[in-house]
Amino acid sequence: MRIVILTGAGISAESGVATFRDADGLWEGHNVQEVATPDGFLANPDLVLRFYDERRANLATVEPNAAHLALAELEQRLGDDVLVVTQNVDDLHERAGSKNVIHMHGQLRSALCMACDERFTWDAPMANDPACPGCAVPSLRPDIVWFGEIPYRMNEIQDALLAADVFVAIGTSSEVYPAAGFVALASEVGARTVELNLHPSRMSSHFHEVMEGPASEVVPRWVRELA
């Protein structure tokens, strides 16, 4: 049974990572155009670098929760048949033990050099314009997919969706494409589709099954029931 699991900010909410669109979400108080677009970065790189520096530093204060752990256990049980495609830029899936993870929107703990195009594991701040470890040019940016940029590894994701028997979306508002369209594709090729969310999302009616509740409860339950 091949399972593709799409995760969004809701899976990390109970770990203490802010979601984007809930009340007190990350975008409240932040202008998305300023901190999450290439134009915003060009206009005010310092503001953008500091925004992601803060979020990167916050990773040290949070831990995976029962939902991340349940998905890691599922992968241990079923191996390569389980793929996590996450929109999250935190590293909580990896810290829970998941190995087969695609970060379609990039990662906080990665730096991308705009001069040499190389990526580097990055835990330090970037607002002080550090030199690229590869080419020495001080031209690093967060390795995050901003609005207007193309998500990573879309070919692999599409292949996995086309071969999926089960597609599960966890803790995502389904407001952002292409991820919001994955349920339609998976459904079209015959996968059973399940949504796990605190509240129904705008895509709920497209799923065969919807389980409402906090991720730390519904994800372990769904994994148990799958056994």
Q: How far is the CB of 6 from ligand OAD (least distance, A)?
A: 9
Chain residues binding ligand OAD by CB under 6 A are 8-10, 13-14, 19-22, 25, 36, 87, 105, 145, 171-173, 175-176, 197-199, 201, 214-215
| Minimum distance, C-beta of residue 79 to ligand OAD, in the bound complex (Å) | 26
CA 165 to chain centre: 21
**CB of 128 or CB of 147, closer to ligand OAD:** 147
* Nearest to ligand OAD of 13, 111 (CB atom): 13
Least distance (Å) between residue 5 CB and ligand OAD: 13
Strand order in the sheet with 101-103: 101-103, 82-86, 3-7, 166-170, 192-197, 209-212
Measured CA to CA in angstroms, residue 29 lies from 21, 35, 39, 224, 226 at distances of 11, 11, 19, 39, 40
- Which residue out of 105, 199, 206, 208 is catalytically annotated? 105
Question: Is the CB of residue 162 less than 8 Å from the CB of residue 185?
Answer: yes
Beta bridge partners of 210: 195
Distance CA 210, CA 213 (A): 10
Q: Helix 215-226 vs helix 66-78: angle between axes, to the nearest 10 degrees? A: 20
Task: Rank residues 142 and 164 by Cβ distance to ligand OAD and give the closer one.
Answer: 142
| Of residues 87 and 98, the one with the C-beta less far from ligand OAD | 87
Active site residue 208: no
- Taking the complex as a whole, the smallest distance from the CB of residue 13 to ligand OAD amounts, in Å, to 4
Q: Give the active site residues.
A: 105
